[in-house]
Structure 1
């Protein structure tokens, strides 16, 4: 029996808090070298912690993948407006424990986010991932995600006029 056979996805619960926040460290893969990887982790932990606090659940949803009693993955999704004004669902974080990668956990979590998005009546599910994260980009492409925009950054030297 594979992990894929024993993993179930469900809405996050208060008792999942520590396990969910521990997965935030997995979000640094492929982060540009000029970015503070720990700031990425802190931002993800802050959003997830806010969701888990009372009253923020209306902003979106968080689902966890559980194998037995262990949380092995998390996905957050909320609604936002595209710059054109069209509502869409946005995956903020998707993280899978290192020992559960390539075992179907990520696919199940994305499916949960898609189901939630359909329930909100939106037609698009969007996300961002690091340009240097080839594994994630390949994973999302395999699920039918297509690149829509490219974000470019130039690091400015403090001494430049």
Structure 2
């Protein structure tokens, strides 16, 4: 299986996968995230299929300075078969193809399993703090 770029027709399957893998949060709209990623040239959702079934996905984006990885998911019944490694390799290749010098991703601090997975792939913890704010009607 080789990852390929998702299309609009993959939305339901990818969002269902993200839910099954426990990646969604109430404050994020995964369908909107998917739609934004496939609508622009500097982002994509890569999917891994077994026949017509989406068994894995990863969202990747180039912010003009670094490459970012989001929503790496493998169907629970397909985990520990190398699919996550395949998806990360595809994400890195996508970013290299755009000249990104560095890949970054965020993992919730309590997700020891994900942290161990990424460390096995050679990613290192960075000495940074991520700050954020939801954008609404408030102004600075």
Same fold by TM-score greater than 0.5: yes
Matches within 5 A, 1:116-135: 116-135=94-113
Deviations 1:95-151 (A, max 9, x none): 111111111111111111100111011111110011111111000000110000354
Runs of 5+ in structure 2 lacking a partner? 132-140
TM-score (norm. length: structure 1): 0.72
**In structure 2, what is the equivalent of residue 10 of structure 1?**
4
TM-score (norm. length: structure 2): 0.82
Instruction: Report the Cα distance in structure 1 between the residues aligned to 2:92 and 2:68, rounded to whole angstroms.
Output: 10
- Residue 27 of structure 2 aligns to a residue in which SS? helix
**In structure 1, what is the equivalent of residue 62 of structure 2?**
79
Structure with the largest fraction of helix: 1
Give the 4+ runs in structure 1 shifted more than 4 A.
none
- Give the direction of change, closer, same or farther, for the CA distance of 1:24–1:149 in structure 2 (3 Å limit): farther
For the pair shown, the structure with the greater C-alpha radius of gyration is 1
Out of 41, 46, 50, the residue aligned to residue 67 of structure 1 is 50
RMSD over aligned CA atoms reads 2.0
Runs of 5+ in structure 1 lacking a partner? 1-6, 30-36, 82-86, 154-161
**In structure 1, what is the equivalent of residue 35 of structure 2?**
49
